Amino acid sequence: MIRTLYRLSTLIALSLIYMGSIADASVERPNIVLIIADDISSDFNCFGGQVQTPHIDALAAGGVRFSNAYVTASSCSPSRNSIITGRYPHNTGAPELHMDLPEGQFMFPQALKEAGYYTVLSGKWHMGEATRPAFDVLDAVHYPDDPTGAANWIQILQERPNDQPFFLWYSALDAHRPWEPDTEATPHDPATLNLPVGIPDTPIARADFASYCDEVRRFDRYVGAVVAELKAQDVFDNTLILVLADNGRPFPRSKTTLYDYGMKTPLVVHWPEGKFKAGAVSESLVSSIDLAPAILEAAGLPLTSQLQGRSLLPICREPEVETRAFLFGERNWHVQRACGRLVRQGDWVYMRDYTPGSYSFQMVNHKDGSYAELLRLQAEDKLSAAEAEVFSTDRPEELLFNVAEDPNQLNNLAANPEHKQTLETLRGALNDWQTRTGDSIPELEQMTPDRHDRETYEGLYPGRRPTGGIVAGQQAGAESL
């Protein structure tokens, strides 16, 4: 019923557009290209990162760069399901890794398709069969058949219909583990790189991080190829381009965590004919659920009540505009039990850990470079406090950080009486949000089980996910809210 009503409202809105009631009928609807990196933090050069990314930097110079953009979850499929629906993970019905989006959820590419857009997904899919109808073409690629995810991007642009506006969901596999050598560029020198907090400073970990940087640079090159093709087809100026990552880099204190290195995404938005303030940097809080309403607004389509985000287009035109006072994020099962929540207001980030007794070391990565080094150094009792945290089974349940003064989030101020009011404000905001959105948290023993043994790291279950377990929002019926 909701989908039927939305289709009707879409047809009415489009009729008004063509009649000139909503907009000048001579204005051509923009093409839209959404380019999603896999597991990349704010390591692009234009965000102050160490990787040279000239193509993304150029988009930022001609568009808007968001310095405080967050994903809803630092885990691949929950983040992507949030983007396509414009909803929080526990409201999509797929809040955990390897959960497919259920039938009946609103999907903005479906709305674009029904409004006459040619819609394509090419690259990493990871959202399930229910998302297939949203796309005219679903070109899902798999590793290692195409280790980049971008092999068909240019061909798709060249073979598109010329009588329709297009929406392209381009999803790379860079920089997801495992690494592959970038044969078209000189590898990064491990000795010259600054290691982010939480990564041990050893030759193996340095080489691990350098390989990641190689894949970040390769992603930038594929973005540049798309831009060049749009220019060659003379459609660049009226194409809304959005570049971001699904979650942070695949390293400790980043991916799968609520820390900024896991939750913040390097978001760049570019659209010359959209009258954006070119070269602007906005510090306004933005969530990945704000992409769907922005894209629908750009296409002249109505916003359904199922959307929980707020369009970021006003910020693109006036970077000082603030569309939200609070921003929220989630941590749920990612191969192992974990549950936490995040709220940010201004420079303050508050986190609540619902599984402080379950260590956060990613068992699935125990043989990979930096993670293997953590295990080795733990056995030798040589870890720093930040490095040892991933093994803790006695973490604080509440954390409070001022990210302007403490960007690495090492100084927990939750117990500091000077910040009691801030703590209470953010605690209350989180409680209110959880009530409004039906964010029910199951008891630890009811959660999806660990996929691996916590001592040997051996697999306990076949397939991607164990059966059984209650997920966030399930007990409150959050999927249908």
Mean pLDDT of 299-310: 97
The per-residue pLDDT for 19 is: 35
CATH 3.30.1120.10 in the chain is located at 328-458
Q: Cβ neighbours of residue 293 under 8 Å, at least 6 residues apart? A: 86, 303, 307, 309, 310, 311
The per-residue pLDDT for 130 is: 98
Structure tokens at 310: 């707020």
The per-residue pLDDT for 16 is: 40
pLDDT in tens, 196-246: 999 999 999 999 999 999 999 999 999 999 999 999 999 999 999 999 999
pLDDT in tens, 44-84: 999 999 999 999 999 999 999 999 999 999 999 999 999 99
Q: Cβ neighbours of residue 186 under 8 Å, at least 6 residues apart? A: none
Q: Is the pTM of this model over 0.85?
A: yes
Is the pLDDT reported for residue 13 higher than 60? no
Q: Which residues of 381-393 are buried (b: 16+ CB within 10 A; e: fewer)?
A: eebeebbbbbeee
The per-residue pLDDT for 27 is: 56
Closest CA to 9 of 141, 86, 115, 95: 115
**Superfamily of 29-319 according to CATH:** Alkaline Phosphatase, subunit A (3.40.720.10)
CA torsion sign, 273 to 276 to 278 to 279?
negative
pLDDT in tens, 97-119: 999 999 999 999 999 999 999 99
Q: Cβ neighbours of residue 409 under 8 Å, at least 6 residues apart? A: 259, 260, 349, 399, 401, 403
CATH 3.40.720.10 in the chain is located at 29-319
Closest CA to 262 of 123, 362, 357: 362
Spatial separation of the C-alpha atoms in residues 195 and 50, rounded to whole Å: 10
Helix (H) or strand (E) holding 277: none
Identify the CATH class of 328-458. Answer: alpha beta
